[in-house]
């Protein structure tokens, strides 16, 4: 039994040595969604609290994101989120990508798909009220994509 505990502890400690890249790319204001559209403060706060950790280059990693194997899952989740939508790189999107992202954002927020329930559990500020969801939906519906 002691050998098993020893090996479990050794493996757990060993995997902590596997590096996870948590460095955020620099945000260029000319490409950043909230800067491009001069997003109102109330909507900007909602986006920062509920979206930006997974959908921007402004991720704030929580303490649990430094403990393997959880760190691997968090990094994978963030990489996937950025692949679908990265508000920090909005300026590099063509109009088709922007329109698609706006439509997907509206439906995801309206249908309670985003933010993910698993994210909300650890980030209570991301738990949007019905009013906040409606405000985000209306904001995105009124965006002028050209």
Half-sphere exposure at residue 35, Cβ-oriented, CA atoms within 13 angstroms: 11
Q: Has residue 122 got a pLDDT over 90?
A: no
The Cα–Cα gap between 51 and 79 comes to 13
pTM of the model: 0.84
Q: Has residue 132 got a pLDDT over 80?
A: yes
Q: Has residue 13 got a pLDDT over 70?
A: no
State the average pLDDT over residues 126-139: 96
Q: What is the DSSP string of 59-115?
A: ----GGGGSTTHHHHHHHHHHHHHHH--GGGGGGS-HHHHHHHHHHHHHHHHTT-SS
């Amino acid at each position: 039994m002691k050998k098993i505990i020893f090996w479990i502890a050794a493996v757990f400690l060993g995997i902590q040595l596997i590096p996870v890249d948590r460095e955020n790319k620099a945000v260029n204001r000319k490409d950043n969604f909230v800067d491009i559209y001069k997003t109102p403060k109330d909507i900007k706060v909602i986006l920062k609290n509920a979206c930006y950790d997974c959908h921007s280059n402004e991720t704030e990693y929580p303490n649990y994101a430094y403990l393997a194997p959880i760190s691997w899952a968090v990094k994978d989740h963030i990489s996937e989120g950025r692949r679908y939508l990265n508000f920090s790189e909005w300026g590099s999107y063509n109009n088709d990508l922007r329109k698609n992202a706006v439509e997907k954002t509206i439906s995801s927020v309206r249908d309670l798909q985003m933010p993910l329930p698993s994210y909300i559990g650890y980030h209570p500020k991301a738990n949007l009220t019905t009013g906040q969801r409606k405000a985000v939906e209306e904001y995105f519906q009124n965006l002028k994509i050209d």
